[in-house]
Amino acid sequence: MIPELFCGVGARLAAQLRAQELLGQSARRSPDFLALEGERALGIDQVRELILWARYGPVGGGVRVALLGPAERLTPEAANALLKLLEETPPYLAVLLHGEAPDRVLPTVRSRCALRWALPPRDLLGSSLARAGYTPQEIAFLLDLTAEREEEALAFVEAKRDVWGEWAQVQAEARGLGLRELAERLPGEVLDPLRRRAFAEAFLEKVQASPAHRVLEAAEILSRSRAVREVLQELAGVLCAQARRAPERVGWARRALLARGELEANANPRLLLEGVLLWPRRG
């Protein structure tokens, strides 16, 4: 197979979708998938790992897929080691590279790949969800639900779900709980987008209807969780969505967004949560 180089702001997502297409399943769970990605640089040791892995044929199907990127972070030594594999790719191997800026990818690597321009992530995910059988209304809902979490949106592409049926069920479950129960359970729901959103919406409804001392108790419970960042992010997402329909919630949404940033700067989680949850009572 000809190696492919995906470029543009949605390059990594486009490469992931291509891997999923080739493997016919979740790439991350396939024994025939290898991802080599670096935040700073991709060195020669990683490329050597790829070359060794590429010697062996597929385990579960007719193809193996290697995803490598960002391609512009390949060191000169790593790029030189990769050239032979790009020139003489085994027939069972698909090499997928991704990088936002093709002009920053070494010409020797770029010239050996088929160049693929990627759409922005939201457009890519929207078209993929449509091909998976979701309606336009479901797609809009899921894209809002999984904002900034591309891996979660990909999971809906991999396995189609009954979005509205599940949503109604989990909404009823969450609304039947009290504030303390919601505070205890919300951190455990952060891994599933539908459950996370329904529990966060119910939690904020109960926050507004509960006395201040109960709200402070809920903030204390949430602050002890290991998922404080994820909880704050979801609360901010709910409030931002509500602010589009109710302008009076813009300030509350802004406070939640600021709190998420302050948490990353190592601010006190309990005080941040108290500030967010008590915001509507600030007067």
Question: Could you give phi then psi for residue 33, rounded to 5 degrees?
Answer: -125, 135
Rounded distance between C-alpha atoms, residue 19 and residue 99, angstroms: 15
Determine phi and psi for 118, rounding to 5 degrees.
-100, 145
Distance CA 219, CA 180 (A): 10
Instruction: Answer whether 63's CB lies under 8 Å from 93's CB.
Output: yes
Token pair in block for residue 125: 């995910």
205 vs 158, more confident: 205
pLDDT single digits (tens) 129-180: 999 999 999 999 999 999 878 889 988 998 899 999 999 999 999 999 999 9
Helix (H) or strand (E) holding 277: helix 269-277
Domain 4-118 class in CATH: alpha beta
Share of the chain above pLDDT 90, in %: 80
Q: pLDDT confidence of 13, banded at 50, 70, 90? A: very high
Return d(Cα 275, Cα 226) in angstroms, integer: 19
Least confident of 4-8, 36-40, 168-172, 258-262: 36-40
Q: 236: closest CA among 210, 213, 266, 264?
A: 264
- Whether residue 153 contacts residue 129, with contact meaning beta carbons closer than 8 Å, is answered with yes
pLDDT of residue 247: 86
As a whole number, the mean pLDDT across the chain is: 92
Which one has a higher pLDDT value, 23 or 148?
Answer: 23
Q: Is the pLDDT of residue 89 over 80?
A: yes
Please give the DSSP secondary-structure letter assigned to residue 111.
Answer: T
CB 232 within 8 A of CB 273: yes
* Confidence at residue 112, expressed as pLDDT on a 0 to 100 scale: 95
Q: What is the distance between the alpha carbons of residues 110 and 113, in angstroms, rounded to a whole number? A: 6
What's residue 150's pLDDT?
A: 87
Tens digit of each residue's pLDDT (9 = 90 or more) over 64-73: 999 999 999 9
- Give me the residue spans of the domains in the chain: 4-118, 121-160, 162-281
Among 91-95, 151-155, 205-209, the minimum mean pLDDT is found in: 151-155
